[in-house]
Chain A
Amino acid sequence: MSAPLGKDLLGLEHLSTEQISLILDTAEPLREISERAIKKVPTLRGATVVNLFFEASTRTRISFEFAEKRLSADTVNVATAASSVTKGETLVDTAKNLEAMKIDMVVIRHASSGAAQFLAERIESNVINAGDGTHEHPTQGLLDLLTLRRKFGTLAGKRVCIVGDVLHSRVARSNIWGLTKLGAEVAVCGPRSLLPNAIADFGVQVFDHIEDAIQWADALNVLRLQLERMTAGYIPSQREYNRVFGVSRERLDRAPRDLVIMHPGPINRGVELDSDVADGPHSVILDQVTNGVAVRMAVLYLLAGHAPALAEAAKGGDR
């Protein structure tokens, strides 16, 4: 049977609303597997997945690895320092060598935008983008959608504001496409030096003041502020960033409603997000982490060509 998502998952921009909903619907029952004593089903038994990480990552790689192992796939992790890339091997040669070892799927994280597509066009295996440069991070977008959908029931008409460094954020791009497709209203808020000049073309609203964003939103997705943005001169200091754009208890207390707080992690506590908010009652940050495993299981499952309806059946594995 032909895979309902096609060969690869490269981003959310080119997925249909139905495909996104299918992934989320598939993730729901798979979520339960992680709750079991024996967290394993045989769905991907015999399949080989390579986690090809050209950029440092802890949580995304671990999340993928859990998802793969809970579906019984054989996994190999390749990290930059240990790879032959440092010897000058090109991405295309690395890919061809891996494929010659007869693998089924590649999960790739790479610092260059478009690297996942580059790989997907050159190998037969399924490719999952685990973050390419400042382009997309589709599984992060999907886990954010699943988290919000579980919280709100539906995303239609819900107002979600993405706060922070949208310019350099692949999470922001995947969120914008996914949220928009599922009917949410989307806004961004941050210093203009960290927003794309063409941000309005994405069909999102822009807030220059975090206070206004908080008045408007049902949920905030607060992005991590990378230290290198200061050294590159996009903003003067972390201190001032926190004073002007930081999401604090005090600011949230003035909101007309309780805002759901999300963060893709890792958090710079006291910079973009204060600890009492991150750890507060309306934070769903750890739910995001939990949902990340389920969403990645769903993507692996669907890309492997399994029928959507079988997701239910997968529940019937070893207890």
Chain B
Amino acid sequence: MTEHRDVLLKGGRLLDPSSQLDGVGDLLVRDGKVEAFGGSIAAPDGALVIDCKGQVVSPGFIDVHCHLREPGREDVETILTGARAAAAGGFTAVCAMPNTDPVTDNQAAVGFVLKQGRAAEAARVYPIGAISIGQKGERLAEFGEMVHAGAVAVSDDGKPVVSAQLMRTALEYARTFGIPVADHCEEPTLAAGGAMHEGFVSARLGLKGIPAEAEEIMAIRDILLARLTGGHVHLCHMSTKGSVELIRWGKERGISVTAEACPHHLSLTHEMVEGYNTNAKMNPPLRTAADVEAVQQAVKDGTIDVIATDHAPHHNDEKQREFSDAPNGIVGLETALPVNVTWLVKSGIVSLSTLIERMSCAPARLFNLPGGSLRRGSAADITVFDPDQAWTVDPSAFLSKGRNTPYGGRILHGRVGCTLVDGRIVYQRMG
């Protein structure tokens, strides 16, 4: 890596919920740390000065849930392209789910993800280790060695932990290492064969539905197991009104449960599937307007702690198929900010400050990661963005290899100007 050069972010709106900072001023970065902020700061000799007038300067976004596909499916994404796409989306760090091929279920595999992430010199990449060996749901993977090698959490994401006993053990065992156990909540027999949310749209289209209860049953199981064990359960991609009510129930009782929601579940409904649109196919599926509204409110009141992308690139050939055969998932890293700004901030549901809390501060806190703050001495992981700028989503311009998005052609608000990781510019938009 090159020597650090001072960077002066000039005249932006400094917005950092972790220190209740909100005001126009300069911010100086030195040696990869926030050196000073507020008021007018004179540019040190040799400093790179970036004009941030009209832009928000916030702690960098952290995505606790994405799929970078390496190793195994380098044709659809690599850690390099994923980390660059993340930086372009304003993310300074991402957590890579372990459902790769082979599965990231041991210290060597964790080390590989870290090595590829460092080589990318874009967003930081943190590995999440598997809960069970091969994500088979049978035997625990070696949490201790994986954490020692750099894993920040464990998850069998892509699949639920079917066995309640295994989930219980994972929550207990994880306590030694102070990591969250992230679960993909899906009761497999109820969800079997399902291609979209179960409701009137699925009934009309003749597609097998996944009822909201398939998610909710596992959500409450995990919450109760967290109560039993004292372990930290993190519920991935919560999508239903019932789920947020159950999480609220758990939090009110002091149970160690945290939860994430995805931008698509905060913006789109199951009607998007009309016409058998495979770019509206993901798991959990898009739900009803009432669910979207409830999850939005949960983001507002903190029942949902973090917004995570569940970035899931797929090859176009795989998505250009009969709906029931197409794979689940959409890309999200490069549309997360504008989707959240458009549907949550512009619509007046949450403040920009709350959005930054959910996209940056809370993920750093819950997963014990650097960043998430502009305080003096914090890692200079910083995102500069224009919350008002409108632009048309053009999937062909993504840095991700994935083009599978339901937002193509939409005009969204909020655009990243530049992204700094460890005080270095890893992304700067041209023009």
Contacts and interface: CB of A to CB of B under 8 A. Distances in A.
Contacts of B221: none
Given A112-B322, A115-B322, A197-B198, A202 B207 contact: no
Contact of B323 (A112, A197, A199): A112
Contacts of A135: 205-207
A170 interface: yes
Given A90-B321, A91-B322, A118-B276, A113 B205 contact: yes
B322 A110 contact: yes
B211 A197 contact: yes
Given A118-B276, A198-B199, A13 B204 contact: yes
Given A113-B276, A198-B199, A133 B321 contact: no
A170 B276 contact: no
Nearest to A177: B204
B169 interface: no
A136 interface: yes
A136 B325 CA distance: 18
A90 B199 CA distance: 29
Contacts of A113: 205-207, 276, 323-324
A91 B206 CA distance: 19
Residue from B199, B200, B276, B321 whose CB has the most chain A CB atoms within 10 Å: B276
B200 A132 contact: no
B320 interface: yes
Given A133-B206, A170-B206, A196-B203, A112 B198 contact: no
Contacts of B207: 113-114, 133-135
A201 B208 CA distance: 17
B204 to A, nearest CB: 7
A118 B322 contact: yes
A199 B207 CA distance: 14
Interface in B232-280: 275-276
Contact of A134 (B206, B275, B317): B206
A198 B323 contact: no
Contacts of A61: none
B203 A133 contact: no
Nearest to A117: B276
A92 interface: yes
Contacts of A133: 206-207, 324
B199 to A, nearest CB: 5
Interface string A91-109: 1100000000000000000
B323 A114 contact: yes
Contacts of A199: 203
Nearest to B324: A112
A129 to B, nearest CB: 11
A133 B196 CA distance: 15
A43 B276 CA distance: 34
B35 to A, nearest CB: 56
Bin the interface of chain A by size: 20 to 34
Nearest to B275: A117
A133 B207 CA distance: 8
B364 to A, nearest CB: 41
A173 interface: yes
Interface string A151-178: 0000000000000000000100100000
Interface in A106-131: 110, 112-115, 117-118
Interface in B185-224: 198-200, 202-209, 211
A188 B207 CA distance: 19
A198 to B, nearest CB: 4
Contacts of B198: 197-198
A133 B205 CA distance: 9
Residue from A13, A197, A199 whose CB has the most chain B CB atoms within 10 Å: A197
A112 B325 contact: yes
Residue from B198, B202, B206, B208 whose CB has the most chain A CB atoms within 10 Å: B206
Interface in A75-98: 90-92
A65 B204 CA distance: 29
Nearest to B322: A112
Interface string A177-203: 000000000000000000011110110
Given A113-B276, A117-B275, A173 B204 contact: yes
B415 to A, nearest CB: 32
Interface in A192-220: 196-199, 201-202
Given A114-B276, A117-B275, A118-B276, A198 B322 contact: no
Residue from B202, B203, B322 whose CB has the most chain A CB atoms within 10 Å: B322
A198 B203 contact: yes
A202 B201 CA distance: 10
Contacts of A136: 206
B197 to A, nearest CB: 10
A239 B114 CA distance: 61
Residue from A92, A112, A118 whose CB has the most chain B CB atoms within 10 Å: A112
Nearest to A13: B204
B208 to A, nearest CB: 8
A12 B322 CA distance: 20
10 contacts: A112-B322, A113-B206, A113-B323, A114-B324, A115-B322, A133-B206, A134-B206, A136-B206, A198-B199, A198-B203
Interface of A: 13, 90-92, 110, 112-115, 117-118, 132-136, 170, 173, 196-199, 201-202
Given A135-B207, A197-B198, A198-B203, 10 more contacts: A92-B320, A112-B325, A113-B207, A113-B324, A114-B206, A114-B276, A117-B275, A133-B207, A198-B199, A201-B200
